[in-house]
Amino acid sequence: MLHFIVNGKGGSGKAAKTWEKVRRILEREGVDYLTHETTRPGEATQIARGLTGGDAAEESVKLVVVGGDGTVNEVLNGVDDFSRFSLGLVPTGSGNDFARGLGIPKSTGRAMGLILSSAEGKLIDIGRAVTEINPRGTYFGISAGIGMDAIVCKKAGNSSRLKKFLNKLRLGQLTYIILTVKTLFSMTTETVSLRFDGGDEEHQENLIFLAGMNVKTEGGGVCMAPGADTQDGRLSLCMASGIPRWKTFLDLPFLVKGKHARLKGFALRDFKTLEVSCENPVVLHCDGEYNGDVRHIKFECVPGTLRMML
């Protein structure tokens, strides 16, 4: 039995059209399935929790998301027991960084082919961000971070009209580009303390952004961490600090293409845990979703946790 979570309003209606294609494939192949359609934020979390909780009837739950990165994040944070859970994805969002990071094709037919032919699946790492306002932590499949990219994610969530308009033109990625430029020249930089893998404390001034990456890209294809690997038991740091914001603006094309490793002010580094302390509350995002304004964050890799139908 396959369970499907369908975000019918996702991708400005694209998800609903994609679901019709998926449904026809399932009926043609004679696959048993149940559909769970979401109608409001947070509902995918509740559905996943209901399917994988202690009172759930099925010993092995196979759940497929027909939607985008936000729906995947909701599902991850609803799974009660990852040991008996498998996730499939038919991407319909505007960013699709999780699908991109795992090599899941945009083609509905090819994505369904991976799911239906998956036997053992593939175990991958996920990340978790623990804060003073959420000590249990928030899981993420793509990335979590503070600074410029987190502020952009918060603004994108509040700029639904712009995002919907650009999505209809199939220019959804422009939402993040426009907001990134505006944010870069209006934000204030931060002073933070960092502790990698329980080591000595390091200080960074004029922090522009810091991201813990599980896959290579975020923001609809921006290659923040070219060396990220979902099966190495580590997250990949991408950080910009100590340089003028105008210099960061000029470096953005290199960041988009993943050519920023040797640029002054940028740092790339792998880690298992990273503890961050900030002088002032900062915006935190997980998979592009706003996760509050916080002062203390622990980013950690949760290795080999999520079984993907690949």
* 310 residues of the chain, pLDDT tens digit each: 999 999 766 555 678 899 999 999 999 999 999 999 998 999 999 999 999 987 766 889 999 999 999 999 999 999 999 999 999 999 998 789 999 999 999 999 999 999 999 988 999 999 999 999 999 999 999 999 999 989 988 877 655 565 566 556 555 566 667 778 888 888 999 999 999 999 999 999 999 999 999 999 998 899 999 999 999 999 999 999 999 988 988 998 999 899 999 999 999 999 999 999 999 999 999 999 999 999 999 999 999 999 999 9
Contact between 178 and 186 (Cβ < 8 Å): no
d(C-alpha 48, C-alpha 286), whole Å: 18
| Token pair in block for residue 268 | 């790339």
Distance from C-alpha of 137 to C-alpha of 299, rounded to nearest angstrom: 9
Q: Distance (Å, rounded) from C-alpha 269 to C-alpha 236?
A: 6
CA-CA distance, 106 to 117, in Å (whole number)? 17
Nearest to 240 by CA among 227, 225, 257: 225
CA–CA gap between residue 43 and residue 51 (Å, rounded): 13
- Which two structure tokens, joined as six digits, stand for 181? 């430029």
How much is the pLDDT for 119? 83
Torsion of the alpha carbons at 91, 92, 94 and 96, rounded to the nearest 10: 0
Parallel/antiparallel/unpaired status of strands 289-308 and 85-91: parallel
Q: Are 308 and 87 contacting, i.e. CB atoms less than 8 angstroms apart? A: yes
Q: State whether the Cα torsion 31-36-42-46 is positive or negative.
A: negative
Structure tokens at 248: 């960061």
